[in-house]
Structure 1
Amino acid sequence: MIVRTLGEISGTDRETNAETWVSRRLLLKADGMGFSLHDTILYAGTTTKMEYQNHLEAVYCIEGKGRLKDLSNDQEFAIEPGTMYALSGNEHHILIAEEQLRMICVFNPPIVGPETHDENGVYPLLE
């Protein structure tokens, strides 16, 4: 059984920071669950471009307000608490945080730990 709290992750190598977000990685590949689980904050007033070419991701909003834009077809979706979206086709997208967003994210295959977006918004596939 694995039990962790955000408090014990804060300031460790399980917390990854970028210009527009901070990701607290509750489960990683080494935990052996077959997926990774993240509690992520996107800072208010920021825009983050992403395209997970190597991972599928499901995201559940638990706090804040924003917009999700699918760059493949220009569709836009409101994001607020209770909204889930799944990037089932590795969609190139932009997440706009009108207010601070807190998201619970699941990645498959699981993230190893230090991944952050490259210049194209892609996480590398680490072993």
Structure 2
Amino acid sequence: MKVVKLEDIIGSDQEVKGENWTSRRLILKKDNMGYSVHDTIIKAGTETHIWYKNHLEAVYCIEGAGEVETLSDNKIHKISANELYALDENDEHLLRAYDKDMRMVCVFNPPITGNETHNEEGVYELVDDE
């Protein structure tokens, strides 16, 4: 069994920061669970282009509010605390946080190694850490 404390991740190499977000990577590929789990903060008032071509992601919002705009159909999905959205078709999207930070629990399949950041397309590349 593994127990992970958020306080041990903050400030470590498993806390990765982008321009609009901070991702605390709790479970990674090396943990051999078949998925990765992240505690992610999306900064208030920001818009982030994301397109996980190589991963499926489920996102459970636990604080704040915002919206996801899926770019294939330009639909806007409002998201607030206690709601989950699943990017089950590798959806290219814009994630917008409203007037306060959003805090999300994110699950990725396949799992990430922990070193990934969004490239110019908003994609996490597949990384072979072996």
Q: What range describes the TM-score normalised by the shorter chain of this pair?
A: over 0.9
Residues 100-111 of structure 1 correspond to what in structure 2 (within 5 A)?
100-111=101-112
4+ aligned runs moved over 6 Å, structure 1:
none
Match of 2:70 in 1: 70
Match of 2:118 in 1: 117
Match of 1:16 in 2: 16
Query: Structure 1, unaligned stretches of length 5 or more?
Result: none
Secondary structure at the counterpart of residue 16 of structure 2: strand
The two structures have a TM-score, normalised by structure 2, of 0.96
Cα-to-partner distance string for 1:75-121 (whole Å, 9 max, x where unaligned): 10111011111111001000000021000000000000110000000
Distance 1:121 1:45 in 2: 18
The two structures have a TM-score, normalised by structure 1, of 0.98
Distance 1:48 1:80 in 2: 17
Distance 2:66 2:56 in 1: 21
Secondary structure at the counterpart of residue 30 of structure 1: helix
Identity %: 54
Match of 1:93 in 2: 93
RMSD value over aligned CA atoms? 0.5
